[in-house]
Amino acid sequence: MGGSRRTAIVTGASQGIGAGIVRGFLERGFDVVATARNMAASTEVRAGEHVATVDGDIGDPATAAGLVETALARFGSIDVLVNNAGVFLTKPFTEYTSDDLGLLISTNVAGFVYVTQRVVKQMLVQQRGGNIITVTAALARNPMRGITASVSMITKGGLETITQHLAMEYAREGIRVNAVAPGAVYTPMHRNTPKEVMESLAPMGRVSTVQDVTDAVMYLTDAATVTGHILYVDGGAHAGRW
C-alpha cells in the first residue's frame, strides 16, 4: 500500500469508454478502482491485484463513500479520478419525462458531485495535488439539428462549467480539473446506431474509438500545467460545419 504506483478511480468502468480507460491506466502501471452498477459482472474489466471493483449506482452517495474507502484500503491514495459514468437520451424536448430528467441528473450530475467532493477532500489531505477528468460530450456546446439531446446536454454542459470552476478553485492546491468531450464513439451506448449515422457525425469520416478517448484521458493525466480545459475528441465536429 502507498508505494510508488499511482491510483486512479474510474466510474462507468464496466464497458465502453470506461473499460478502455481502465486498460489505459493498467498499461501505465496504475492501480485502479473501477465502478459501475454491474461492475462485478463486467466481461471487460475484472478484479485482481491491481484492480478493485465496486458495484453501485453513481447517483447514490454511498457509492462515492465506498469508492474512496476502497481506494485507500487497497492502494493507499487517490491520484486521479475519471468521471465517466453517464447516460444519454434523445427525444424531442417536449417529450422528456420527469423520470428521464431524474435519471439524467442523478447519474450525470449528482454522480459527479458525490464522487468528486470526496476525492477532492482526500487529495487535499494528501497535499500532493491531483487530477480530475470528466467525460462530457462534444454535443453539449455544438448542437446538431436532428439530434434531439437537449435535456441530456443540460448535464454535460453543466459538467463543463463546473470543470472550469473547480480548476480555478483548486489551482493553488495543484488539483487539475479537465474534461474530454467526445463526438460519437463506437461503444455499447451506440449498439443500435446505424454505421451511416455514426459516420455522418464525424467530419473526418472516421468515427472516434474508445482508444482515441483513452489517449485524450492519458494526455490530460500527464499534462502538468493543463487545467480547466475541454479537450474535444470528435474528428473536428466542434470546429465547424461539414
Ligand X SMILES: NC(=O)c1ccc[n+]([C@@H]2O[C@H](COP(=O)([O-])OP(=O)(O)OC[C@H]3O[C@@H](n4cnc5c(N)ncnc54)[C@H](OP(=O)(O)O)[C@@H]3O)[C@@H](O)[C@H]2O)c1
Q: Does 235 bind ligand X (CB under 6 A)?
A: no
* Interface residue with ligand X, options 6, 7, 8, 14 (CB under 6 A): 14
**CB-based burial, 125-164: b 16+ in 10 Å, e otherwise:** eeeeebbbbbbbbbbbebeeeeebbbbbbbbbebbbebbb
Q: Which of 52, 135, 179, 237 binds ligand X (CB under 6 A)?
A: 135
Asked if residue 57 binds ligand X (CB under 6 A), the reply is yes
**Interaction mask 138-157, ligand X, x per CB under 6 A:** --------------------
The answer to whether residue 238 forms part of the interface with ligand X (CB under 6 A) is no
Give the closest residue to 26 by CA, choosing from 75, 64, 59, 93. 75
Quick check: 192 binds ligand X (CB under 6 A)? Answer: no
H or E element that contains 181 = strand 175-182
For ligand X, the closer CB: 68 or 77: 68
Which residue in 26, 65, 72, 87 binds ligand X (CB under 6 A)? 87
- Decide whether 107 or 227 has the Cβ nearer to ligand X: 107
Among 7, 53, 77, 107, binds ligand X (CB under 6 A): 107
Q: How many CB atoms lie within 10 A of CB 2?
A: 9
Which residues are within 8 A (CB) of 95 and not within 5 positions of it... i.e. 6 or more apart? Answer: none
188 binds ligand X (CB under 6 A): yes
Task: Report the residue from 7, 8, 15, 24 that binds ligand X according to the rule CB under 6 A.
Answer: 15
Q: Is 21 helix (H, G, I), strand (E, B) or coil?
A: helix
Cell 474512496 identifies what position? 68
Amino acid present at 33:
V
The Cα 216–Cα 214 span in angstroms is 5
| Amino acid identity for residue 79 in this structure | D
Q: How far is the CB of 37 from ligand X (least distance, A)?
A: 3
Work out which of 5, 26, 37, 61 binds ligand X, going by CB under 6 A: 37
CA angle 188, 194, 196 (to 5 degrees): 130
**Least distance in angstroms from the C-beta of 214 to ligand X:** 11
* Residue numbers at the binding site for ligand X (CB under 6 A): 12-18, 36-38, 57-59, 84-88, 107, 135, 137, 182, 184-185, 187-190
